[in-house]
Structure 1
Protein backbone atom coordinates (compact mmCIF):
# COMPACT_ATOMS: atom_id res chain seq x y z
CA UNK A 1 0.00 0.00 0.00
CA UNK A 2 1.24 3.48 -0.88
CA UNK A 3 2.39 5.45 2.20
CA UNK A 4 -0.08 8.13 3.26
CA UNK A 5 1.04 11.65 2.35
CA UNK A 6 -2.30 13.49 2.40
CA UNK A 7 -5.10 13.24 4.96
CA UNK A 8 -8.60 14.47 4.12
CA UNK A 9 -11.28 14.90 6.78
CA UNK A 10 -15.03 14.93 6.33
CA UNK A 11 -16.68 17.44 8.68
CA UNK A 12 -20.18 16.38 9.80
CA UNK A 13 -20.15 13.50 12.31
CA UNK A 14 -16.34 13.43 12.16
CA UNK A 15 -15.37 16.86 13.53
CA UNK A 16 -18.77 18.24 14.55
CA UNK A 17 -21.99 16.60 15.72
CA UNK A 18 -25.08 16.96 13.48
CA UNK A 19 -28.57 16.01 14.70
CA UNK A 20 -31.68 17.57 13.08
CA UNK A 21 -33.91 15.92 15.67
CA UNK A 22 -32.47 18.15 18.40
CA UNK A 23 -33.51 21.30 16.55
CA UNK A 24 -37.09 20.06 16.09
CA UNK A 25 -37.93 18.86 19.58
CA UNK A 26 -39.54 22.21 20.36
CA UNK A 27 -40.99 22.61 16.85
CA UNK A 28 -42.63 19.17 16.71
CA UNK A 29 -42.73 17.85 20.30
CA UNK A 30 -44.16 14.44 19.42
CA UNK A 31 -41.34 12.02 18.55
CA UNK A 32 -43.44 9.92 16.16
CA UNK A 33 -44.58 13.01 14.28
CA UNK A 34 -40.99 14.28 14.05
CA UNK A 35 -39.91 10.98 12.57
CA UNK A 36 -42.74 11.14 10.02
CA UNK A 37 -41.72 14.68 9.12
CA UNK A 38 -38.09 13.75 8.47
CA UNK A 39 -39.10 10.57 6.64
CA UNK A 40 -41.63 12.28 4.37
CA UNK A 41 -41.09 16.06 4.21
CA UNK A 42 -37.62 17.40 5.06
CA UNK A 43 -35.95 14.16 4.04
CA UNK A 44 -32.27 13.34 3.62
CA UNK A 45 -32.71 13.30 -0.15
CA UNK A 46 -34.28 16.79 -0.04
CA UNK A 47 -31.56 18.17 2.21
CA UNK A 48 -28.67 16.75 0.17
CA UNK A 49 -29.69 18.95 -2.74
CA UNK A 50 -28.83 22.02 -0.64
CA UNK A 51 -25.42 20.37 -0.19
CA UNK A 52 -25.29 20.22 -3.99
CA UNK A 53 -25.95 23.95 -4.18
CA UNK A 54 -29.72 24.39 -4.36
CA UNK A 55 -30.87 27.60 -2.67
CA UNK A 56 -32.90 27.28 0.51
CA UNK A 57 -35.73 29.43 -0.85
CA UNK A 58 -36.12 27.09 -3.81
CA UNK A 59 -35.93 24.03 -1.59
CA UNK A 60 -38.59 25.38 0.75
CA UNK A 61 -40.88 26.36 -2.10
CA UNK A 62 -40.81 22.82 -3.51
CA UNK A 63 -41.92 21.30 -0.21
CA UNK A 64 -44.47 23.99 0.64
CA UNK A 65 -46.19 23.35 -2.69
CA UNK A 66 -46.69 19.70 -1.67
CA UNK A 67 -47.21 20.24 2.07
CA UNK A 68 -48.78 23.71 2.47
CA UNK A 69 -50.00 22.88 5.98
CA UNK A 70 -46.39 22.23 7.00
CA UNK A 71 -44.94 25.57 5.87
CA UNK A 72 -43.93 26.62 9.39
CA UNK A 73 -42.14 23.31 9.98
CA UNK A 74 -40.44 23.38 6.59
CA UNK A 75 -39.07 26.89 7.13
CA UNK A 76 -37.96 25.90 10.63
CA UNK A 77 -35.39 23.53 9.13
CA UNK A 78 -33.18 26.38 7.91
CA UNK A 79 -34.14 28.76 10.68
CA UNK A 80 -33.16 26.27 13.38
CA UNK A 81 -30.18 24.82 11.54
CA UNK A 82 -27.68 26.17 14.06
CA UNK A 83 -29.29 24.00 16.74
CA UNK A 84 -28.62 20.88 14.67
CA UNK A 85 -24.88 21.35 15.22
CA UNK A 86 -24.73 20.32 18.83
CA UNK A 87 -20.99 20.68 19.34
CA UNK A 88 -17.55 19.56 18.29
CA UNK A 89 -16.15 16.04 18.47
CA UNK A 90 -13.29 17.18 20.61
CA UNK A 91 -10.95 14.20 20.34
CA UNK A 92 -11.25 14.27 16.56
CA UNK A 93 -10.26 17.92 16.63
CA UNK A 94 -7.26 17.02 18.80
CA UNK A 95 -6.21 14.41 16.24
CA UNK A 96 -6.61 16.78 13.31
CA UNK A 97 -4.66 19.56 15.02
CA UNK A 98 -1.86 17.16 15.99
CA UNK A 99 -1.58 15.97 12.38
CA UNK A 100 -1.32 19.58 11.19
CA UNK A 101 1.19 20.48 13.92
CA UNK A 102 3.33 17.48 12.96
CA UNK A 103 3.53 18.70 9.38
CA UNK A 104 1.06 16.36 7.70
CA UNK A 105 -0.85 17.68 4.70
CA UNK A 106 -4.44 17.99 5.95
CA UNK A 107 -7.44 19.16 3.93
CA UNK A 108 -11.22 18.68 4.18
CA UNK A 109 -13.91 17.42 1.79
CA UNK A 110 -17.52 17.88 2.83
CA UNK A 111 -21.11 17.66 1.70
CA UNK A 112 -22.32 20.97 3.10
CA UNK A 113 -24.47 23.88 1.95
CA UNK A 114 -22.37 26.95 1.24
CA UNK A 115 -24.09 29.26 3.71
CA UNK A 116 -24.41 26.86 6.61
CA UNK A 117 -20.75 25.83 6.43
CA UNK A 118 -19.74 29.46 6.74
CA UNK A 119 -21.95 29.71 9.81
CA UNK A 120 -20.16 26.66 11.19
CA UNK A 121 -16.81 28.35 10.54
CA UNK A 122 -17.88 31.19 12.82
CA UNK A 123 -18.73 28.80 15.64
CA UNK A 124 -15.89 26.34 15.12
CA UNK A 125 -12.72 28.11 13.92
CA UNK A 126 -10.81 24.82 13.81
CA UNK A 127 -12.75 24.08 10.60
CA UNK A 128 -10.54 26.66 8.88
CA UNK A 129 -7.20 25.35 10.16
CA UNK A 130 -6.46 22.79 7.42
CA UNK A 131 -4.81 23.68 4.11
CA UNK A 132 -8.23 24.04 2.51
CA UNK A 133 -11.65 22.53 2.01
CA UNK A 134 -13.74 21.31 -0.90
CA UNK A 135 -17.35 22.36 -0.21
CA UNK A 136 -20.00 20.49 -2.20
CA UNK A 137 -22.38 23.44 -2.17
CA UNK A 138 -19.76 25.69 -3.76
CA UNK A 139 -18.98 23.39 -6.68
CA UNK A 140 -22.27 21.60 -7.35
CA UNK A 141 -20.90 18.11 -6.68
CA UNK A 142 -21.59 15.75 -3.80
CA UNK A 143 -20.07 12.63 -2.32
CA UNK A 144 -20.00 9.79 -3.23
CA UNK A 145 -19.84 10.97 -6.86
CA UNK A 146 -16.35 10.33 -8.23
CA UNK A 147 -16.23 13.84 -9.68
CA UNK A 148 -15.98 15.50 -6.26
CA UNK A 149 -12.96 13.39 -5.28
CA UNK A 150 -11.33 14.16 -8.63
CA UNK A 151 -12.07 17.86 -8.08
CA UNK A 152 -10.33 17.73 -4.70
CA UNK A 153 -7.29 16.03 -6.25
CA UNK A 154 -7.04 18.72 -8.93
CA UNK A 155 -7.61 21.60 -6.51
CA UNK A 156 -5.12 20.54 -3.86
CA UNK A 157 -2.64 18.62 -6.03
CA UNK A 158 -2.79 15.45 -3.95
CA UNK A 159 -1.80 11.98 -5.11
CA UNK A 160 -4.97 9.84 -4.89
CA UNK A 161 -3.07 6.65 -4.02
CA UNK A 162 -1.28 8.47 -1.19
CA UNK A 163 -4.43 10.15 0.11
CA UNK A 164 -6.36 8.93 3.16
CA UNK A 165 -9.99 10.00 3.43
CA UNK A 166 -11.86 9.89 6.76
CA UNK A 167 -15.68 9.89 6.56
CA UNK A 168 -18.50 8.55 8.73
CA UNK A 169 -20.50 7.33 5.72
CA UNK A 170 -19.72 3.89 4.28
CA UNK A 171 -20.98 5.08 0.88
CA UNK A 172 -18.57 8.01 0.89
CA UNK A 173 -15.70 5.78 1.96
CA UNK A 174 -16.50 3.45 -0.93
CA UNK A 175 -16.71 6.45 -3.27
CA UNK A 176 -13.24 7.57 -2.26
CA UNK A 177 -11.86 4.08 -2.77
CA UNK A 178 -13.47 3.93 -6.21
CA UNK A 179 -11.66 7.19 -7.01
CA UNK A 180 -8.34 5.54 -6.14
CA UNK A 181 -7.98 6.89 -2.61
CA UNK A 182 -7.32 5.09 0.63
CA UNK A 183 -10.23 5.57 3.02
CA UNK A 184 -11.46 4.59 6.47
CA UNK A 185 -14.90 4.89 8.00
CA UNK A 186 -15.00 7.10 11.08
CA UNK A 187 -16.56 5.29 14.03
CA UNK A 188 -15.07 7.25 16.91
CA UNK A 189 -11.77 9.02 17.68
CA UNK A 190 -10.25 5.95 19.31
CA UNK A 191 -10.84 3.86 16.18
CA UNK A 192 -9.44 6.65 14.04
CA UNK A 193 -6.24 6.69 16.07
CA UNK A 194 -5.92 2.95 15.54
CA UNK A 195 -6.61 3.27 11.81
CA UNK A 196 -3.98 5.98 11.44
CA UNK A 197 -1.41 3.89 13.31
CA UNK A 198 -2.21 0.84 11.15
CA UNK A 199 -1.58 2.95 8.06
CA UNK A 200 1.73 4.25 9.38
CA UNK A 201 0.56 7.73 10.41
CA UNK A 202 1.96 8.52 13.84
CA UNK A 203 0.28 11.07 16.09
Structure 2
Protein backbone atom coordinates (compact mmCIF):
# COMPACT_ATOMS: atom_id res chain seq x y z
CA UNK A 1 0.00 0.00 0.00
CA UNK A 2 1.31 3.50 -0.79
CA UNK A 3 2.64 5.53 2.14
CA UNK A 4 0.24 8.33 3.10
CA UNK A 5 1.55 9.17 6.57
CA UNK A 6 5.14 9.63 7.75
CA UNK A 7 5.78 9.71 11.50
CA UNK A 8 9.12 10.85 12.95
CA UNK A 9 10.62 10.15 16.34
CA UNK A 10 12.61 13.16 17.61
CA UNK A 11 15.51 12.28 19.93
CA UNK A 12 18.51 10.92 18.02
CA UNK A 13 16.55 11.22 14.76
CA UNK A 14 16.04 14.99 14.50
CA UNK A 15 17.93 16.31 17.54
CA UNK A 16 20.93 15.02 19.47
CA UNK A 17 20.62 13.82 23.07
CA UNK A 18 23.53 12.95 25.35
CA UNK A 19 23.56 13.39 29.16
CA UNK A 20 27.34 13.00 29.14
CA UNK A 21 27.71 16.47 27.62
CA UNK A 22 27.04 18.36 30.87
CA UNK A 23 27.93 15.51 33.21
CA UNK A 24 31.44 15.11 31.84
CA UNK A 25 31.96 18.48 33.50
CA UNK A 26 29.77 17.89 36.56
CA UNK A 27 31.26 14.44 37.32
CA UNK A 28 34.66 14.46 35.55
CA UNK A 29 35.67 10.94 36.58
CA UNK A 30 34.35 8.54 33.93
CA UNK A 31 33.94 5.58 36.29
CA UNK A 32 32.05 7.65 38.86
CA UNK A 33 29.87 9.15 36.14
CA UNK A 34 29.00 5.68 34.82
CA UNK A 35 28.11 4.57 38.36
CA UNK A 36 25.85 7.61 38.73
CA UNK A 37 23.94 6.87 35.53
CA UNK A 38 23.78 3.15 36.33
CA UNK A 39 22.56 3.60 39.91
CA UNK A 40 21.05 7.07 40.45
CA UNK A 41 19.79 8.99 37.41
CA UNK A 42 19.17 5.82 35.44
CA UNK A 43 17.42 5.35 32.10
CA UNK A 44 14.46 3.76 33.91
CA UNK A 45 14.21 6.76 36.25
CA UNK A 46 14.36 9.24 33.38
CA UNK A 47 11.76 7.42 31.27
CA UNK A 48 9.17 8.01 33.98
CA UNK A 49 9.39 11.74 33.31
CA UNK A 50 8.64 10.84 29.69
CA UNK A 51 5.57 9.03 31.04
CA UNK A 52 4.45 12.19 32.84
CA UNK A 53 6.04 12.16 36.30
CA UNK A 54 7.05 15.66 37.39
CA UNK A 55 10.70 16.56 37.80
CA UNK A 56 10.01 17.63 41.39
CA UNK A 57 8.68 14.17 42.24
CA UNK A 58 11.49 12.50 40.33
CA UNK A 59 14.16 14.47 42.15
CA UNK A 60 12.56 13.95 45.56
CA UNK A 61 12.47 10.18 45.02
CA UNK A 62 16.21 10.00 44.34
CA UNK A 63 17.25 12.53 46.96
CA UNK A 64 15.49 10.44 49.60
CA UNK A 65 17.66 7.42 48.77
CA UNK A 66 20.82 9.29 47.70
CA UNK A 67 20.90 12.48 49.82
CA UNK A 68 24.63 12.86 49.29
CA UNK A 69 23.98 13.17 45.54
CA UNK A 70 21.36 15.93 45.71
CA UNK A 71 23.37 18.45 43.69
CA UNK A 72 24.08 15.91 40.96
CA UNK A 73 20.45 14.76 40.87
CA UNK A 74 19.16 18.31 40.49
CA UNK A 75 21.80 18.97 37.85
CA UNK A 76 20.08 16.53 35.49
CA UNK A 77 17.07 18.79 34.91
CA UNK A 78 18.99 22.01 35.45
CA UNK A 79 21.44 21.22 32.63
CA UNK A 80 19.04 19.32 30.38
CA UNK A 81 19.33 22.00 27.70
CA UNK A 82 23.01 21.08 27.25
CA UNK A 83 22.10 17.44 26.59
CA UNK A 84 20.21 18.41 23.42
CA UNK A 85 23.17 20.16 21.89
CA UNK A 86 22.25 20.30 18.19
CA UNK A 87 19.91 19.16 15.44
CA UNK A 88 20.67 16.57 12.77
CA UNK A 89 20.36 18.94 9.84
CA UNK A 90 20.39 16.22 7.18
CA UNK A 91 17.43 14.34 8.64
CA UNK A 92 15.65 17.63 9.45
CA UNK A 93 16.04 18.54 5.76
CA UNK A 94 14.35 15.27 4.79
CA UNK A 95 11.41 15.97 7.11
CA UNK A 96 11.05 19.55 5.92
CA UNK A 97 11.28 18.43 2.28
CA UNK A 98 8.46 15.97 2.82
CA UNK A 99 6.31 18.72 4.33
CA UNK A 100 7.04 21.08 1.42
CA UNK A 101 6.01 18.31 -0.99
CA UNK A 102 2.65 18.08 0.74
CA UNK A 103 3.27 14.82 2.55
CA UNK A 104 1.41 14.19 5.81
CA UNK A 105 4.11 14.37 8.50
CA UNK A 106 3.58 13.99 12.24
CA UNK A 107 5.84 13.19 15.20
CA UNK A 108 5.62 10.62 18.00
CA UNK A 109 8.09 11.00 20.84
CA UNK A 110 9.01 9.84 24.33
CA UNK A 111 9.59 13.25 25.92
CA UNK A 112 8.71 15.01 29.17
CA UNK A 113 6.08 17.68 28.57
CA UNK A 114 8.13 20.64 29.79
CA UNK A 115 11.39 19.73 28.12
CA UNK A 116 9.58 19.10 24.84
CA UNK A 117 8.24 22.66 24.87
CA UNK A 118 11.78 23.87 25.51
CA UNK A 119 12.97 21.83 22.55
CA UNK A 120 10.29 23.32 20.30
CA UNK A 121 11.35 26.83 21.28
CA UNK A 122 15.00 26.06 20.53
CA UNK A 123 14.37 24.05 17.36
CA UNK A 124 11.48 25.70 15.45
CA UNK A 125 11.35 22.91 12.86
CA UNK A 126 9.63 20.84 15.58
CA UNK A 127 6.54 23.03 15.01
CA UNK A 128 6.34 22.34 11.26
CA UNK A 129 4.71 18.89 11.10
CA UNK A 130 0.93 18.58 11.32
CA UNK A 131 1.19 17.65 14.97
CA UNK A 132 2.90 15.57 17.63
CA UNK A 133 2.07 13.00 20.27
CA UNK A 134 4.24 13.61 23.35
CA UNK A 135 4.39 10.72 25.80
CA UNK A 136 4.51 13.02 28.81
CA UNK A 137 1.24 14.64 27.74
CA UNK A 138 -0.76 11.41 27.52
CA UNK A 139 0.92 9.15 30.09
CA UNK A 140 2.02 6.48 27.61
CA UNK A 141 5.48 5.64 26.31
CA UNK A 142 6.88 3.73 23.38
CA UNK A 143 7.00 0.81 22.75
CA UNK A 144 3.57 0.35 24.42
CA UNK A 145 1.22 -0.36 21.53
CA UNK A 146 -1.32 1.98 23.13
CA UNK A 147 0.72 5.09 22.26
CA UNK A 148 0.79 4.16 18.57
CA UNK A 149 -2.95 3.53 18.66
CA UNK A 150 -3.47 6.90 20.36
CA UNK A 151 -1.42 8.63 17.66
CA UNK A 152 -3.38 6.82 14.95
CA UNK A 153 -6.67 7.97 16.44
CA UNK A 154 -5.54 11.54 17.13
CA UNK A 155 -4.32 12.15 13.59
CA UNK A 156 -6.68 9.93 11.61
CA UNK A 157 -3.95 7.69 10.23
CA UNK A 158 -4.41 4.51 8.25
CA UNK A 159 -1.91 2.15 9.97
CA UNK A 160 -1.25 0.18 6.79
CA UNK A 161 -0.33 3.42 4.98
CA UNK A 162 1.87 4.76 7.80
CA UNK A 163 5.65 4.58 8.15
CA UNK A 164 7.45 5.30 11.42
CA UNK A 165 11.09 6.39 11.76
CA UNK A 166 12.83 5.76 15.11
CA UNK A 167 16.36 5.04 16.37
CA UNK A 168 15.18 2.34 18.83
CA UNK A 169 14.60 -1.25 17.70
CA UNK A 170 11.97 -1.93 20.42
CA UNK A 171 10.06 1.18 19.33
CA UNK A 172 10.16 -0.03 15.73
CA UNK A 173 8.72 -3.37 16.83
CA UNK A 174 5.98 -1.57 18.78
CA UNK A 175 4.98 0.32 15.65
CA UNK A 176 4.85 -2.88 13.61
CA UNK A 177 2.61 -4.49 16.24
CA UNK A 178 0.28 -1.52 15.76
CA UNK A 179 0.10 -2.33 12.05
CA UNK A 180 2.49 0.36 10.85
CA UNK A 181 5.48 0.00 8.58
CA UNK A 182 8.63 1.17 10.38
CA UNK A 183 12.34 1.67 9.74
CA UNK A 184 15.27 1.90 12.13
CA UNK A 185 17.01 5.26 11.80
CA UNK A 186 20.79 4.94 11.39
CA UNK A 187 21.44 8.05 9.30
CA UNK A 188 19.94 10.35 6.70
CA UNK A 189 21.22 8.53 3.64
CA UNK A 190 19.79 5.21 4.78
CA UNK A 191 16.52 6.94 5.58
CA UNK A 192 16.37 8.35 2.05
CA UNK A 193 16.92 4.82 0.71
CA UNK A 194 14.28 3.33 3.02
CA UNK A 195 11.73 5.93 1.94
CA UNK A 196 12.57 5.56 -1.75
CA UNK A 197 12.10 1.80 -1.46
CA UNK A 198 8.53 2.58 -0.40
CA UNK A 199 7.92 5.03 -3.20
CA UNK A 200 8.62 8.17 -1.21
CA UNK A 201 11.24 10.31 -2.95
CA UNK A 202 12.99 13.09 -0.99
Alpha-carbon distance between aligned partners in 2 of 1:32 and 1:3, rounded to the nearest angstrom: 49
Give the equivalent residue in structure 2 for 1:80: 79
Give the equivalent residue in structure 1 for 2:13: 14
Give the equivalent residue in structure 1 for 2:162: 163
Give the equivalent residue in structure 1 for 2:172: 173
Alpha-carbon distance between aligned partners in 2 of 1:173 and 1:23, rounded to the nearest angstrom: 29
| 1:1-203 alignment, distance < 5 Å | 2-203=1-202
Aligned-residue offset at 1:70: 0.4
Question: What root-mean-square deviation, in Å, do the aligned CA atoms of Structure 1 and Structure 2 show?
Answer: 0.5
Alpha-carbon distance between aligned partners in 1 of 2:161 and 2:35, rounded to the nearest angstrom: 43
Taking structure 2 as the reference length, the TM-score comes to: 0.99
Tell me how many residue pairs correspond in the alignment.
Answer: 202
* Residue aligned with 1:65, SS: helix
Gaps spanning 5+ residues in structure 1: where?
A: none
Alpha-carbon distance between aligned partners in 2 of 1:190 and 1:40, rounded to the nearest angstrom: 37
* Residue aligned with 1:86, SS: coil
Taking structure 1 as the reference length, the TM-score comes to: 0.99
Aligned-residue offset at 1:177: 0.2
Alpha-carbon distance between aligned partners in 2 of 1:41 and 1:188, rounded to the nearest angstrom: 31
Aligned-residue offset at 1:26: 1.4
Gaps spanning 5+ residues in structure 2: where?
A: none
* Residue aligned with 1:25, SS: helix
| Partner deviation per Cα, 1:97-144 (whole Å, 9 max, x = no partner) | 000000100000000000000000111000010000000000000000
Aligned-residue offset at 1:94: 0.4
| Partner deviation per Cα, 1:70-117 (whole Å, 9 max, x = no partner) | 000000000000000010000001000000000100000000000000
